[in-house]
Amino acid sequence: MRLFIAINLDDNFKSALTSMQDDLRSQHVGGNYSPIENLHITLAFIGEYPDPDDVMDALAGIDFEPFDITLDGFGNFGDLFWAGLAKTEVLSSLVKKSRHALADAGIPYDRKKFTPHITLLRKARYNKFPELKTRQTSMKVTSVSLMRSDFGKGGVRYTEVGYAKSTNKPALEIKK
Ligand code: 2AM
């Protein structure tokens, strides 16, 4: 099965992203818009791999604390348009931890450099390159998901296979 590791987004965050998609539509940008249920941040793309349990075991070993992500900017890889995220060391560190866990378990993944983004549409068509403002929104990341990708009649469909929760360490107690 085709697998990848991702951060799934809450409804508020996704609604900011669909507003950005609406802005693009209103500027007459055509293409394959990501359906709301497919919006996510890919941390590592594994591709075809037979054993999701192996991957879940690897993910279970990751230790990270909850952190915030914030939408910031708009960009493109050719005809793929995306919404960006404010740079955070914690997000980069989570990507590193996830990828190290896969490497240690001997699970192959795409080693392309991580560019934090959320795909808004693919195969974009336009006469004039659009201008797009970021919607102000943030959310707390408390888990990382293992996702399965299937191609069907209605396009690509992503299903969560499992997830690893963040660790929530108690604050240091200062005794007087
Ligand atoms: P994206 O993150 O740019 O949208 C499932 O295919 C997800 O993994 C998509 O979000 C996809 O692109 C991402 N991905 C990253 N590397 C990929 C690769 N080499 N092939 C297919 N999808 C990849």
Nearest Cα residue to atom 10 of ligand 1: 42
Domain count, the chain: 1
42 CB less than 6 Å from ligand 1? yes
**Residue 130: count of CB within 10 angstroms of its CB:** 16
Q: Buried b vs exposed e over 26-62: b needs ≥16 C-beta within 10 Å?
A: eeebebebbeeebbbbbbbbbeebeebeebeebbeeb
Query: How many of the other CB atoms lie within 10 Å of CB of 100?
Result: 13
Distance 149 CA to ligand 1 centre (A): 10
pLDDT in tens, 149-168: 999 988 999 999 999 999 86
pLDDT in tens, 32-58: 999 999 999 999 999 999 999 999 999
> Is residue 56 within 8 Å of residue 79, measured between CB atoms?
no
Radius of gyration for the alpha carbons in the chain, expressed in angstroms and rounded = 17
74 alpha carbon – ligand 1 mean position (Å): 18
5 CA distance to ligand 1 centroid (A)? 10
Q: What number is the average pLDDT over the span 80-87?
A: 96
* CATH code (residue 119): 3.90.1140.10
- CB of 149 shorter than 6 A to ligand 1: yes
pLDDT category of residue 174 using cuts at 50, 70 and 90: low
Q: Give the model's pLDDT for residue 87.
A: 87
What is the pLDDT averaged over residues 130-148?
Answer: 96
User: Residues 3-26: what's their mean pLDDT?
Assistant: 98
Q: Is the pTM of this model over 0.85?
A: yes
What sign has the CA pseudo-torsion 38, 78, 89, 48? positive
Protein residue closest via CA to atom 7 of ligand 1: 42
Q: Given a cut of 70, is residue 144 above it in pLDDT?
A: yes
Interval between CA 4 and ligand 1 midpoint (Å): 8
What domain range is 71 assigned to?
2-174
Residue with CA nearest ligand 1 atom 17: 45
